[in-house]
Amino acid sequence: MSKGQFESEMNSHPIDSRSLIPFISKEFKTHFTKNITALYHYTNLEGAQGIISNKTFWASHIKFMNDSKEYSHGLEICEAIVQNLIQEFPKENPRRAYLEEVFTILEEQDTDIFVVSFCEREDLLSQWRGYSRSKHGVSIGFDYVALFDVSFHLSEENFFPRKVIYNHQLQQQIIHRIIEVALASIEMNADKTAYTPKEVARTIGYFLPLFKHSTFSEEKEWRIIVTNSKSMPYQHELKFRARDNIILPYIELLTHNKVTQNDNKLPINQITVGPSGTNEFTARSLNYYLKNVGYPTVPIKISHIPYR
């Protein structure tokens, strides 16, 4: 991007040092979202009851999730790109020092990343195995428009779900673009960049949890990403709960139904009971529960996947 192109873009889309994340989100909007009617959240019965009763999702710390190693996949891609770009600049070039600082911050990141996962499909074996964490799993189907505003939110504070990116070349393109915009801002004003190295590192760190290896593409996953950093002015309250063999850090995300006539009920369009030896019995108990907590018309389905 030339200096003139960058200035023109900045004039048409005013931004500040706190808004690199929404700037990149908007540019790659078609890759992070699409026209769908529903998203499904896989959990166990206890988790489903908590979501429905409290109208709250629990965003888990990415380092303690089942697929936590996927974060290192994106980080390795990013570090390779930044290192290669560093080598392109002579040692006395300020851009090299700038990128070196970005790289250092990435390695010493103080940002905690929390994730809520959704899926485009209601009955998927990999999701039952990964998220229900027991033989009594359910997937809760949410009306996409009602739960998440149809307009594309540009800030992570809006808790808007984004599609996971499985394409390796697109992952590289996003990282390159973040760095390109940051370096172009230096070119526009040699004395002061629009983005500090910390903001660039934070932006990269925000998108990395949306990068997964292509072999996982059948999961069709979407994620809400929430960040907590000591350097940020606002901190989400950190909570802990025991799960299996770990103490899991998480934060609570309170939902806000966009459809006001629903009496502040969650816009649940169906619940699917996962494969188990007692799924019919589980479905009856779930139906009774829903009727008594204000969801008498929510249909309950049984997984088509054979129980083993």
How does pLDDT run across 246-278, given as a tens digit for each residue?
899 999 988 765 655 556 789 999 999 999 888
Residue 308 lies in a domain: no
Residue 117 lies in a domain: yes
Full-model pTM? 0.86
Report residue 123's pLDDT band, with 50, 70 and 90 as the boundaries.
very high
Residue 261 lies in a domain: yes
Query: How far is it, in rounded angstroms, from Cα 91 to Cα 85?
Result: 12
Query: How far is it, in rounded angstroms, from Cα 77 to Cα 175?
Result: 9
Residue 256 lies in a domain: yes
Residue 63 lies in a domain: yes
How many domains is the chain built from? Answer: 1
Residue 194 lies in a domain: yes
177-213 pLDDT, tens per residue? 999 998 887 766 655 667 888 889 888 988 988 999 8
25-53 pLDDT, tens per residue? 889 999 998 889 999 999 999 999 999 99
Residue 307 lies in a domain: no
Structural domain harbouring 15: 3-302
